[in-house]
Structure 1
């Protein structure tokens, strides 16, 4: 991609024309590529095709600001660490599957800065784990409300069923002449139909993804 510091030096003839053409070429290509433009300048745009993100240089010229996803119809920025459910079984650009996988900390530095080792330390130095959401329901973190107490943020919870009781209906006839026999002639209990090894509500299976 074309690069230029957007400063036209005081020079004559062919050198001036070459410098000007280089600056115009950088503008024409919109500084698109997988490598960071160097040199950079304040408020410079960069289409980072490697990450699929449009970025702009900040006013101090020391960091890139993410503006949005390239090719997205909704140009709003989704922050790293945001989890979405995708209505396709293929992960979209700019996201990773929430499959508990181990990924490099340096390549996914923005995501690591957000979630750290909440979902696993990886190898303890160069990698970290993604959330594992395959086959899981999502529950809002209690955050001291007292409904789902003693839960650590990001922790998993096994299935369970609240303590409950089932009524038994029965009829008995009176004792015989000797007072020693009781005959139960009608009894019934509540019944339930089981469908497997878990209790669950109606649901739809979608692909859980996390923004990096």
Structure 2
């Protein structure tokens, strides 16, 4: 394109258009048909390139066409939208959407991911840490295609959890929003330790056996059903580390691990046999002898010091060392050889079987 050069002597000054000047008698610029047609065709080519039908009544088609064409090669727009209440997003608001969910529970609905929208990106980011539920929902029957290993069609909504949590989504123009990136990609359902009592952003909850709604957490319920560690609420005893179907209809229970040590599942190794994922296990006591601090001529611990009388002096005398062995001997050959008496149920043994440890809060990935 250029200014018309075909009639340079008629109304053009330095090659540019000018208005008529009745005072001086200068004529206004004439627009030749060839130039007018060329300009129109240039604009129509952009409109056609965006897959749009020309409309004489629509004076915004060129802008829309440019937006569409740019969106194909760069779907992210330099737009910042700030929200503090539930809203249906308009296409022109897509870009970086900053959401404050502190006033109340909030739902932000995305535009339809149809042909009219085309390929577009949006980053939805939570700015508050109030704990109010903040939902990003697809329009109508559209789906957000996350956790497709659990449900091929994805889910109708996702949840932003914690200040700074964000997802970048891309529409495909065919009813779906696809995740391009997110704040935290840790796999769903993974348990781990934290070094703060605060709940980190990105989709985490306490590993506390809470009951959740299936409709609020459909992807997590799907995960539970496919985990191999799902049982009924009635059979939860001994399976506290697994999932339960709770009321059997509307909710489900997440694993409980507070105050517990975690152990790697045996999975046919033969060290910790007959275990299922999520099963709990009571403590066991390594058999051993107890002695008073010894010196030359020291003797075994008197039976009178054992209030429940489980100490068998006559039997244990064969296992008593005569040197300076102190306190507990481990391992003890006499016990290991099976020559010992039964230790019986003499307590929880927490002071004897629990190793030194550090307690950190347990967390589980909920989305």
Q: Which secondary structure state, in structure 1, belongs to the residue aligned with residue 181 of structure 2? A: strand
Q: Which secondary structure state, in structure 1, belongs to the residue aligned with residue 262 of structure 2? A: coil
Give runs of aligned pairs for residues 27-38 of structure 1, distance below 5 A: 29-30=94-95, 32=97, 34-38=107-111
Q: Which secondary structure state, in structure 1, belongs to the residue aligned with residue 252 of structure 2? A: strand
The structure having more radius of gyration, on CA atoms, is: 2
Aligned length: 182
Deviates more, 1:81-90 or 1:32-41: 32-41
Matched, 1:54 2:167: yes
Structure 2 stretches of 5 or more lacking a match? Answer: 1-49, 69-76, 80-90, 100-106, 127-133, 135-158, 161-165, 231-241, 302-325, 329-347
Q: TM-score, normalised to structure 1's length?
A: 0.68
2:188 alignment partner in structure 1: 80
**Cα distance in 2, alignment partners of residues 168 and 84 from structure 1:** 40
- 1:31·1:46 contact (CA, 8 Å) conserved in 2? yes
Relative to structure 1, is the Cα distance of residues 27 and 137 closer, same or farther in structure 2, using a 3 angstrom cutoff? farther
> Which deviations, in whole Å up to 9, do the C-alpha atoms of 1:85-121 show, x marking residues without a partner?
1111122231111000000112112222222334211
1:166 alignment partner in structure 2: 289
- 1:55·1:66 contact (CA, 8 Å) conserved in 2? yes
1:156 alignment partner in structure 2: 280
2:198 alignment partner in structure 1: 90
> Which deviations, in whole Å up to 9, do the C-alpha atoms of 1:51-74 show, x marking residues without a partner?
2341434756435436222xxxxx
**Cα distance in 2, alignment partners of residues 58 and 79 from structure 1:** 23
**Cα distance in 1, alignment partners of residues 355 and 179 from structure 2:** 42
Relative to structure 1, is the Cα distance of residues 87 and 54 closer, same or farther in structure 2, using a 3 angstrom cutoff? same
Give runs of aligned pairs for residues 1-212 of structure 1, distance below 5 A: 10-12=54-56, 13-16=58-61, 26=91, 29-30=94-95, 32=97, 34-40=107-113, 44-48=120-124, 49=126, 50=134, 51-52=159-160, 53-57=166-170, 59=172, 61-62=175-176, 64-65=178-179, 67-69=181-183, 77-93=185-201, 94-116=203-225, 117=230, 118-162=242-286, 164-166=287-289, 186-189=298-301, 191=327, 198=350, 199-212=353-366
Which structure dedicates a bigger proportion of its chain to helix? 2
Instruction: Flag the structure with more relative contact order, 1 or 2, with Cα contacts below 8 A and sequence separation at least 6.
Output: 1
**Cα distance in 2, alignment partners of residues 97 and 142 from structure 1:** 25
- 1:83·1:211 contact (CA, 8 Å) conserved in 2? yes
Structure 1 stretches of 5 or more lacking a match? Answer: 1-5, 70-75, 170-184
- 1:68·1:78 contact (CA, 8 Å) conserved in 2? no
Q: Which secondary structure state, in structure 1, belongs to the residue aligned with residue 243 of structure 2? A: coil
Deviates more, 1:117-126 or 1:17-26: 17-26
- 1:119·1:131 contact (CA, 8 Å) conserved in 2? yes
